[in-house]
C-alpha cells in the first residue's frame, strides 16, 4: 500500500512500443544514437558559450539554458526507455512513475515557454539594436529564465498532484513507453474527467499561448527585416529566426498532437510512436539546428577546436 494514495498498486508495467526482437534492436540503436547526439551536441553548445566571451550576451545565455533543459528533458525518459527495450519485465515504481511525469512536464513546459522568451529576445535585438544591451540586461534575462522554470514547475505540479491522488486498484499495465498522464489515467479506479479536462485545458492554453507569442514576435521581426536595406544582415537574421522556428515547431507541434486530442485507445497507440519524437528527437536536433545556422557559434567552435589541437 502506498501511503496517502489509497491504492494497492506499488509499481507499473510499461508496455513499450513493440515485442518484436528485431524491431527492439533497431529502436534501441536509433534511440541510443539520437540520445548520444543530444548529450554530445548540447554539452558542446554549453561549453562553447561558456568558453567564448563574445557569446556572453542574452541570446546565447538563453541558448545555454535551452541546451541544459534539453539534456535533462531527454534524460528523464531515454535511459529508462533504452534499458526497458531489453528487459523482460518493464516495471517502474509508483513513486518513480509520478516523478517521471513531473519532470517530463516540468522540463517540457519550461522549454516551450523558453522559446517565447528567446523569440522576444530576437525581436528586441532586431527592432532596437542600439538599445538591446540596456533592454535585455542581466536582470531581465535572469527574470525571464527563472520565470520559464517557475511556470513550467507550477504547470507540472498541478497535473502531478492530481494524478498522484488518484486511486489505482486494478490493472497496472501502462500502454506507453514511459509514464505519462493520459495512459496512467486509464488505470485509475475513479472518474478522471476532471484530470483530462485540466490536462487538455491548462496544457492547451500553455502550448497555444507559447506558440501565439512566438509567432507574434516573428511577425513583427519579419516586418522589421523587410524594411532594412542591409541584405547580408537580413539573411543572417532570417537564418537565426528560421532555426528558432524549426525548433519550436518540432517540440510544440508534437505536444499539440499528443495532449490536445481526445483520449482513446487508438490515440494512445499513436502517442506511443509520437513519444519518441517529442522526448528524444527535438533535444538532439536543437544543437544541430542552432549551430549550422549560426555563424558566431561556428566561429567559436573553430576557435575552441584550434585551442584544443594546438
Of the candidates 81, 72, 124, 78, the one whose C-alpha atom is nearest the C-alpha of residue 103 is 72
Whether 229 is in a domain gets the answer yes
Residue 18, C-beta contacts closer than 8 angstroms, at least 6 positions apart: 24, 27
Whether 304 is in a domain gets the answer yes
pTM, two decimal places = 0.86
Whether 1 is in a domain gets the answer no
Whether 4 is in a domain gets the answer no
The region that residue 16 occupies, defined by phi over 0 for left and psi between -120 and 50 for alpha, beta otherwise, is left
Whether 65 is in a domain gets the answer yes
Q: Where are the alpha helices (DSSP H) in 52-137?
A: 58-75, 78-84, 94-127, 132-135
Give the domain extent around 188.
11-309
Question: pLDDT at position 144, please?
Answer: 93
Domain count, the chain: 1
Whether 110 is in a domain gets the answer yes
Whether 279 is in a domain gets the answer yes
Whether 158 is in a domain gets the answer yes
Domain containing residue 160: CATH number: 1.20.1070.10
Question: pLDDT at position 1, please?
Answer: 43
Mean pLDDT per 10-residue segment, the chain (310 residues)? 55 80 85 92 91 85 92 92 82 92 93 90 86 88 93 94 88 85 88 87 85 86 76 70 75 69 57 72 82 76 79
Q: H or E element: which one contains 93?
A: strand 91-93
Give the CA-trace dihedral at 78, 82, 87, 90, to 10 degrees: 20
Amino acid at each position: 500500500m502506498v501511503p496517502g494514495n489509497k491504492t494497492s498498486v506499488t509499481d507499473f508495467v510499461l508496455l513499450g512500443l513493440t515485442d518484436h526482437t528485431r524491431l527492439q534492436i533497431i529502436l534501441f540503436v536509433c534511440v541510443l544514437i539520437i540520445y548520444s547526439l543530444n548529450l554530445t551536441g548540447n554539452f558542446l553548445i554549453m561549453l562553447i558559450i561558456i568558453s567564448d566571451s563574445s557569446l556572453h550576451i542574452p541570446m546565447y545565455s538563453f541558448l545555454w539554458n535551452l541546451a541544459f533543459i534539453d539534456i535533462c528533458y531527454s534524460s528523464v525518459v531515454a535511459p529508462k526507455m533504452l534499458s526497458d527495450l531489453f528487459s523482460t519485465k518493464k516495471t517502474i515504481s509508483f513513486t518513480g512513475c509520478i516523478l517521471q511525469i513531473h519532470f517530463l512536464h516540468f522540463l517540457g513546459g519550461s522549454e516551450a515557454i523558453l522559446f517565447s522568451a528567446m523569440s522576444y529576445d530576437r525581436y528586441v535585438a532586431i527592432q532596437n539594436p542600439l538599445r538591446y544591451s540596456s533592454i535585455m540586461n542581466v536582470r531581465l534575462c535572469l527574470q525571464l529564465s527563472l520565470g520559464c522554470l517557475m511556470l513550467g514547475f507550477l504547470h507540472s505540479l498541478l497535473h502531478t498532484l492530481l494524478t498522484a491522488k488518484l486511486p489505482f486498484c486494478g490493472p497496472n499495465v501502462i500502454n506507453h513507453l514511459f509514464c505519462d498522464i493520459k495512459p496512467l489515467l486509464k488505470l485509475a479506479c475513479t472518474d478522471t474527467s476532471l484530470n483530462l479536462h485540466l490536462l487538455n485545458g491548462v496544457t492547451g492554453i500553455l502550448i497555444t499561448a507559447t506558440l501565439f507569442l512566438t509567432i507574434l514576435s516573428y511577425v513583427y521581426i519579419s516586418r522589421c527585416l523587410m524594411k532594412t536595406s542591409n541584405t547580408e544582415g537580413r539573411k543572417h537574421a532570417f537564418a537565426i529566426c528560421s532555426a528558432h522556428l524549426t525548433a519550436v515547431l518540432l517540440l510544440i507541434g508534437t505536444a499539440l498532437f499528443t495532449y490536445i486530442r481526445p483520449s482513446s485507445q487508438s490515440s494512445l497507440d499513436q502517442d506511443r510512436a509520437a513519444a519518441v519524437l517529442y522526448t528524444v528527437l527535438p533535444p538532439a536536433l536543437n544543437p544541430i539546428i542552432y549551430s549550422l545556422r549560426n555563424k558566431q557559434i561556428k566561429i567559436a567552435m573553430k576557435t575552441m577546436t584550434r585551442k584544443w589541437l594546438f
